[in-house]
A and B are shown apart, each in its own frame.
Chain A
Amino acid sequence: QIQSFFALTYGAIVTEIISDSQTVQEVNDRLESMGYNIGIRLIDEYHAKSAVVVGSGQPCMTLKETADAIAKIGFKMFLGIACDVASFAPDGRSFSLYLYDNPLTTFVELPPPEDCEGNMDLSQMQFSNIYCGVIRGALEQVNLRVNCSFVRDVLKGDEVNEIRVELKEVLADGAGEDYQEE
């Protein structure tokens, strides 16, 4: 029941960020880092709840399982939307997430390029970039360093929202050498 309030709050956030930023890239980056902060906390809740949903609570052993977990469990659990996984790269290190409904953009349209002034071309803004940050933050807590970016965006005229997730590195467990006991 709070879908509208959710969308309106996000709109207020984006408005605030736009007024504080000088370039569109800055806006995108701030949205992504905001998502990162959310993601590192969201993963705990995901683990707590998905153990009930999935039943076994087994960790994902492959990137494909991770992708399915994000799409089928994660997006469903937090946003109630359907999300598909596709376009696995041949080396298995990247995939795409397709979002059909985007609760953040219920009331949103990007301004056309001719209406933008200065160096803020808001028609190029990644409005929902917060998702990329959430995915990056959440996966980093499970030792997967990824890059996420929007490839296709409904606000820009495409039919679906497509987020490309690329695995950069599998991080090692632990707090690093400085904290190792002698």
Chain B
Amino acid sequence: MNPSSQYPTRRIEPPHHNHQSSPPRVQSIYDRPLGGNGGTRPGPAVSLSAFALLYSELVQYHQNKSSSMNDLEGNLERCGMEVGTKVLELVSFRERSYKRETRLMNILHHLSITIWRYLFGRSADSLERSMDNDDEYMIYDDRAVTSSFCNVRSVDAFVSGIIAGVLNASGFGARVTAHSVSAGGDEG
């Protein structure tokens, strides 16, 4: 349209919504509404036992692959890291908290309240700062779903991985481990 331009261009019309030019496509997840507003349609209620059985299979699968407890925790954390990155985006959208958390205390509060509630149905019991180390914090959860039927707490390493994933995706480097003071521990 601009004759003096070196790069002849043609105006592109905005796409029509009847999609007549595109081939018929399989209905995919991208076509469905995003389901914002904290998920207005309450989904089916998955029972705790279904989750516990599934989670125990995840742990057993890793147990077969690992040679030691540390290995197992490391593997579970690795799995959790990937989930954590996605959880941050998902929760930001669903809970409509569109502002990015750039301060440490804010992201920790966001984690222990909003993200915890989204994942587990209730907020964490408390968020505390360690007396010994300045950069160490603890998120306490008395009834963690991941170890609801388990004696050891190291299976919570998956949740540690999720926390680490969220923090890393927000730009905070962190090392997260799970401890049993009936707790999940967090080192910043």
A14 vs B87: C-alpha distance when bound (angstroms): 17
A1 vs B42: C-alpha distance when bound (angstroms): 9
Shortest beta-carbon distance, A135 to chain B, in Å? 14
Segment among B6-14, B23-31, B66-74, B97-105 that sits at the interface with chain A: B23-31
B58 within 8 A of A: yes
B150 within 8 A of A: no
Q: Is the CB of A1 within 8 A of B57?
A: no
Q: Which of B59-99 contact A (CB under 8 A)?
A: 60-62, 65, 79-80, 82-83, 86-87, 90
As a 0/1 sequence over residues 9 to 43 of chain A, the CB contacts with chain B under 8 angstroms (1 = contact) are 11111011100100000000000001001100110
Residue numbers in B under 8 Å from A5 (CB-CB):
51, 119-120, 145
Q: Is the CB of B44 within 8 A of A80?
A: yes
Residue numbers in A under 8 Å from B120 (CB-CB):
1-2, 5
CB closest chain-A residue, reference B62: A16
Q: Is the CB of B53 within 8 A of A3?
A: no
B118 within 8 A of A: yes
CB closest chain-A residue, reference B162: A8
Residue numbers in A under 8 Å from B62 (CB-CB):
16
As a 0/1 sequence over residues 13 to 37 of chain B, the CB contacts with chain A under 8 angstroms (1 = contact) are 0000000000000111110000000
Task: Decide yes or no: A77 and B47 within 8 Å by CB, A1-B120, A8-B87, A10-B54 being known contacts.
Answer: yes
Shortest beta-carbon distance, B147 to chain A, in Å? 13
Q: Is the CB of B61 within 8 A of A6?
A: no
- For B53, B82, B145, B158, the residue with the greatest tally of chain A CB atoms inside 10 Å of its CB is B53
- For B43, B83, B121, B145, the residue with the greatest tally of chain A CB atoms inside 10 Å of its CB is B43
CB closest chain-B residue, reference A45: B49
A179 within 8 A of B: no
Q: Is the CB of A4 within 8 A of B58?
A: no
Of B51, B58, B86, which one neighbours A2 at CB under 8 angstroms?
Answer: B51
B131 within 8 A of A: no
Q: Is the CB of A2 within 8 A of B44?
A: no
- For A1, A16, A108, the residue with the greatest tally of chain B CB atoms inside 10 Å of its CB is A1
A11 vs B177: C-alpha distance when bound (angstroms): 22
Shortest beta-carbon distance, B82 to chain A, in Å? 7
Q: Is the CB of A103 within 8 A of B48?
A: no
Q: Is the CB of B27 within 8 A of A157?
A: yes
Task: Decide yes or no: A109 and B28 within 8 Å by CB, A2-B145, A78-B47 being known contacts.
Answer: yes
Q: Which of B129-151 contact A (CB under 8 A)?
A: 145
B50 within 8 A of A: yes
If A9-B83, A13-B61 are given as contacts, then 13 extra A-B residue pairs at C-beta distance below 8 Å, sorted by A number, are A1-B121, A2-B121, A3-B43, A4-B90, A5-B120, A6-B50, A16-B58, A37-B57, A45-B49, A78-B49, A79-B44, A107-B90, A109-B28
Which A residues are within 8 Å of any B CB, using their own CB? 1-6, 8-13, 15-17, 20, 34, 37-38, 41-42, 45, 77-81, 101, 103, 106-109, 130, 156-157
